[in-house]
Amino acid sequence: MDKQDVELIKPALIWIFLFLFGVLSFFNIYFIDEGERCVKTTFGEVSGTWEPGLHFKFPLFQSVEVYNVRVQKTVFGDTENILTAYTNDQQIIKSYVISITWKYDANRIAEVYKNFGSSRSDNSVFYTVVSPLVQQTSKTILGQYTASTIVQERAKLESALDIKLKEQLANYPISVIGVQLEDVNFSETYEQVIEQTAQKKMEIDKAKNELQKIEIESKQAVAKADAENKAIKLRADADAYQIEIKAKAEANAIKLKAEALKANKELIDLTIAEKWNGNVPQTVIGDKGSLVPLLKVQ
């Protein structure tokens, strides 16, 4: 190839190089969203992190890992990975489901890469660290409760799980927002016992309510009878008082009349005269108490 041929090919090679550089540059420009953080590596070593915005990496010897730092929810104990445990009273929990609301710590995103590897790897954080901790911790805490208290004290149990998991994950670049016990399924035998117990409790509550109703009605009847008795007594006391007042008035009248007659003998004669009907007695009392006939006056 002579010099003239090289001069002809040279512009074409320059354009090809510029085209390839442009293509490589285009595929190495990154737009990082507000809900993401990025780790940049150079020859496999962490060389920086990217905040949201426009970024560029050198092709071939640099790579990036983009992590979602928004709130996420992961469920443990689904149909593919059933969780089982025993209660404190040795009842079998044949399955239970726990969900964790969490997010990566945006300020420690380089630690996420160092501890858990690529964001595209199947061995992500919840399969390498959190999942075993959730299983171990939940089995331990469920084992501290009886079957009945798991049902009755659900909020307390969730709080214990939440506190323990946050404590165990404190050294990792993960923020646990909340833990929920989504579902608990006991053995069929115990489920029947729970149902029967609930039915008996309903019957007992019904009986208690009926007894309280009877007691209330009984108290009302007693109160009514007591009120009636008090009313009768008040009426009797009023009648007795009226009789007493009347008797005292009559006694006072008799006393006054007697005193008046005693003080004025002529009043006695007047009273006798007023009551005389005009008939003359036929006999009088003699000295010895015998009756002596009176002579008739013609």
Based on the fold, state whether residues 156 and 182 are members of the same structural domain: yes
pLDDT at 19 over 60: no
Number of domains composing the chain: 3
Based on the fold, state whether residues 125 and 176 are members of the same structural domain: yes
Based on the fold, state whether residues 48 and 110 are members of the same structural domain: no
The tens digit of pLDDT for each residue in 85-127 reads 888 888 888 889 999 999 989 898 888 888 777 766 545 666 7
Boundary of a domain, candidates 68, 83, 106? 68
What are the E-state strand segments in the chain? 29-32, 36-42, 45-50, 53-56, 62-68, 72-76, 83-86, 92-104, 174-186, 283-285, 291-293
Q: Which domain holds residue 216?
A: 193-274
pTM value > 0.75: no
Mean pLDDT of 268-292: 61
Decide the pairing of beta strands 283-285 and 174-186.
Answer: unpaired
